[in-house]
């Protein structure tokens, strides 16, 4: 059910994003420029606002600019497909943005003396990087790893909602969101590794003769 909802939501967002993507392409804007701009926006929201405790503004800014991840992909598709460098740039900028978001959250929680919250944020940061690495490494070995309940969009959504609720005065909302995200991120790592393990068992060992 969650996967069906995710697909429907993405399809709905695509219908909204496509006219914007088409307009930017006509104006001469490249998908790579949108990728970099989106990352800069996330950095501003996370480090300029979230790290100082302005969680509502930070979460809103990060959410708006994180949506460029869908926009640049749509632009690349419309312009004939993503280039190798474009795919590399997009993945690299995603890691920078994610690090800024969870680093800013960890910093703010540390200033509040919330050591348990800092631990949760660091677990989210580390586990999120592993989630992405497992997928990239699997694809580099000729396999796939497009499974899991905590992909990048879901991770940012969970921490964003927690930040907004905390900013609006809901006690412990961010901390609960972080521990929830830590749990589902670790679970997703397990899901992806199990998925790759099943594929690897059906493939010949490296260097084996056919």
Question: Which residues are designated catalytic?
Answer: 94
Q: How far is CA 63 from CA 101, 119, 205, in A?
A: 11, 23, 43
Is 32 annotated as belonging to a binding site?
yes
Could you tell me the sign of the dihedral formed by the alpha carbons of 80, 84, 90, 94, in that order? positive
83 is in an annotated binding site: yes
Q: How far apart are CA 32 and CA 40, in angstroms?
A: 13
Which burial class, exposed, middle or buried, applies to 25 when counting CB atoms under 10 A from its CB (0-12, 13-18, 19+)? middle
Q: Is 33 annotated as a binding residue?
A: yes
**94 annotated as belonging to a binding site for a ligand:** yes
Q: Is 34 annotated as a binding residue?
A: yes
73 is in an annotated binding site: yes
14 is in an annotated binding site: no
Encoded tokens for 55: 């969680």
Answer yes or no: is 90 a known binding residue.
yes
Contact at 8 Å (CB) between 145 and 189?
no
Residues annotated within the binding site for a CDP-1,2-diacyl-sn-glycerol are 32-35, 73, 77, 83
Residues annotated within the binding site for Mg(2+) are 69, 72, 90, 94
Residues annotated within the binding site are 32-35, 69, 72-73, 77, 83, 90, 94
């Amino acid at each position: 059910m969650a996967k069906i909802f995710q697909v429907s939501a993405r399809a709905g967002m695509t219908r909204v994003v496509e006219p914007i993507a088409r307009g930017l392409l006509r104006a001469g804007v490249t998908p790579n420029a949108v990728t970099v701009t989106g990352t800069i926006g996330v950095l501003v929201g996370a480090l300029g606002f979230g790290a100082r405790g302005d969680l509502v503004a930070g979460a809103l800014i990060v959410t708006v600019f994180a949506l460029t991840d869908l926009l640049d992909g749509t632009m690349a598709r419309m312009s004939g497909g993503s280039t190798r460098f474009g795919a590399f740039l997009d993945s690299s900028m995603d890691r920078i943005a994610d690090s800024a978001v969870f680093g800013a959250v960890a910093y703010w929680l540390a200033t509040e003396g919330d050591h348990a919250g800092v631990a949760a944020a660091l677990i989210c940061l580390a586990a999120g990087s592993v989630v992405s690495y497992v997928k990239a490494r699997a694809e580099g070995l000729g396999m796939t790893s497009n499974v899991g309940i905590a992909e990048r969009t879901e991770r940012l959504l969970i921490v964003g909602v927690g930040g907004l609720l905390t900013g609006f005065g809901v006690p412990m909302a961010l901390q609960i969101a972080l521990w929830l995200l830590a749990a589902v991120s670790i679970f997703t790592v397990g899901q992806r590794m199990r998925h790759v393990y099943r594929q690897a068992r059906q493939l010949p060992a490296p260097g084996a003769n056919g």
